[in-house]
């Protein structure tokens, strides 16, 4: 393996996204000043979404199992050793606490391709992202296997579970984050929290001035549309009521809101939804209104959302209107900007993943940005050290 200290001679910070999906990780790294050189995903509609929102990134519609590091470098116009950060989250259905957790699900072995491409590309930093449930999969054997594979190819790993709400995302979303660097290089610590719960007790050494962003702070400026109303493209009034809303305006298509279309519920369903108390779920309904479904929850305006799922149209309800959340509302809760456009169908009858899937599977861009800024500071520090060493020699 080449001398890893030579990696830090590169001055421009370049990233590569495996299993890119709609592009939440890349969006966060872009906001932190990274150059996204390459991305890949197996789903056609997710790739369409990514390409629209990141037109300067080479994005392939491919299965990573058939992809080689040399192909990535050639397609992106990169040279060996020039990838600063390699990141991604392999499909996690088998890892999820909500899924069947089938140990021999072939998707659970895609991390081996992640490791293989790490070995072939030799990035300075690796970011491996997944659901919290991966920690307990197979009694912890999955995590140990992942650590061992990275160590086998010369990388040291640190891992932690982060809550997106602690980094300005209006949603309690726990994500497993693994950071890896070549042996002998400076370890990268995890970013400090920027937001906290109003109930959190602070001590003299805490410096977390901002409170968690609430669901209503995220959504209150969006047009109030009823069930069956809205459109794939709407004009925004331009008004905002807080910093979070102002920052979500975006710069690609100022004044435009994409994907704000509400599902058309029948009168019976709307009646049931209207009876669910704010911040409560459908198990609190009168017996005569209850159904077999047990995971429908209504947003509380003064609290962050629960985890946004791929079924948010029926799992997460608007706090004031008797309907499920729109793709745009879910994207706001994920911290995507308003002009980040999602392509694809709204039903699972289609071959490819839906807009809902793309939003629900994404890493919140603000969480990704916090990680990117932390990584960037270490990369910059290492670059300065290398410069100084060259000056002495």
3-state secondary structure labels for all residues of the chain: CCCHHHHHHCCCCEEEEECCCCCHHHHHHHHCCCEEEEEEECCHHHHHHHHHHCCCCEEEECCHHHCCHHHHHHHHCCCCCCCCEEEECCCCCCCCCCCCCCCCCHHHHHHHHHHHHHHHHCCCEEEEEEEHHHHHHHHHHHHHHHHHHHHHCCEEEEEEEEEHHHHCCCECCEEEEEEEEECCCCCCCCCCCCEECCCCCCCCCCCCCEECCCHHHHHCCCCCCCCCCEEEEEECCCCCCCHHHHHCCCCCCCCEEEEEECCCCCHHHHHHHHHCCCCCEHHHCCHHHCCCCCCCEECCCCCCECCCCCCHHHHEECCCCCCECCHHHHHHHHCCCCCCCCCCCCCCCCCCCCHHHHHHHCCCHHHHHHHHHHHHHHHHHHHHHHHHHHHHC
Please say if 92 is a catalytic residue.
yes
Q: What are phi and psi of 316, to 5 degrees?
A: -125, 120
Give me the catalytic one of 20, 92, 157, 341. Answer: 92
3-state secondary structure labels for all residues of 143-174: HHHHHHHHHHCCEEEEEEEEEHHHHCCCECCE
From residue 208, alpha-carbon distances to 85, 169, 205, 295 in Å are 28, 15, 10, 32
Q: What are phi and psi of 340, to 5 degrees?
A: -85, 110
Per the structure block, which two tokens stand in for 26? 């890349």
Q: Provide the annotated active-site residues.
A: 92
């Amino acid at each position: 393996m080449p001398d890893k200290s030579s990696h830090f001679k590169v001055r421009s910070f370049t990233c590569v996204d495996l299993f890119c999906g709609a592009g939440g990780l890349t969006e966060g790294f872009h906001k932190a000043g990274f150059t996204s050189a390459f991305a890949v995903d197996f789903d056609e509609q997710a790739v369409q979404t990514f390409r629209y929102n990141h037109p300067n990134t080479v994005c392939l519609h491919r299965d990573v199992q058939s992809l080689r590091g040399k192909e990535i470098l050639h397609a992106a116009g990169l040279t060996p050793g020039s990838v600063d950060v390699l990141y991604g989250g392999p499909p996690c259905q088998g890892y999820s606490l909500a899924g069947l957790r089938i140990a021999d699900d072939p998707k659970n072995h895609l991390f081996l391709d992640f490791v293989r491409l790490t070995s072939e590309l030799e990035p300075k930093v690796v970011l491996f992202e997944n659901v919290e449930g991966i920690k307990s999969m197979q009694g912890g054997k999955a995590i140990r296997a992942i650590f061992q594979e990275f160590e086998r190819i010369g990388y040291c790993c640190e891992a932690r579970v982060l809550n997106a709400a602690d980094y300005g995302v209006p949603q309690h979303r726990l994500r497993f984050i693994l950071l890896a660097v070549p042996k002998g290089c400076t370890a990268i610590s995890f970013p400090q929290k920027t937001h906290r719960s109003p109930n959190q007790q602070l001590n003299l050494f805490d410096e977390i001035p901002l409170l968690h962003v609430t669901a209503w702070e995220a959504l209150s400026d969006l047009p109030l549309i009823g069930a069956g109303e809205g459109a794939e493209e709407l004009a925004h009034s331009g008004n905002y009521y807080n910093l979070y809303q102002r920052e979500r305006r975006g710069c690609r298509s100022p004044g435009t809101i994409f994907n704000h279309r509400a599902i058309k519920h029948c009168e019976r369903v709307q009646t049931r939804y209207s009876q669910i108390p704010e911040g409560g779920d459908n198990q609190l309904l009168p017996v005569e209104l209850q159904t077999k479904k047990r995971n429908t929850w209504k947003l509380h305006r003064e609290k962050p959302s629960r985890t946004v799922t791929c079924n948010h149209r029926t799992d997460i309800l608007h706090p004031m209107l008797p309907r499920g959340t729109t793709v745009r509302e879910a994207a706001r809760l994920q911290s995507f900007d308003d002009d980040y456009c999602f392509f694809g169908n709204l039903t699972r009858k289609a071959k490819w993943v839906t807009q809902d899937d793309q939003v629900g599977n994404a890493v919140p861009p603000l969480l990704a940005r916090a990680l990117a800024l932390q990584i960037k500071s270490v990369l910059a520090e290492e670059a300065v050290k290398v410069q100084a060493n060259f000056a002495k020699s």
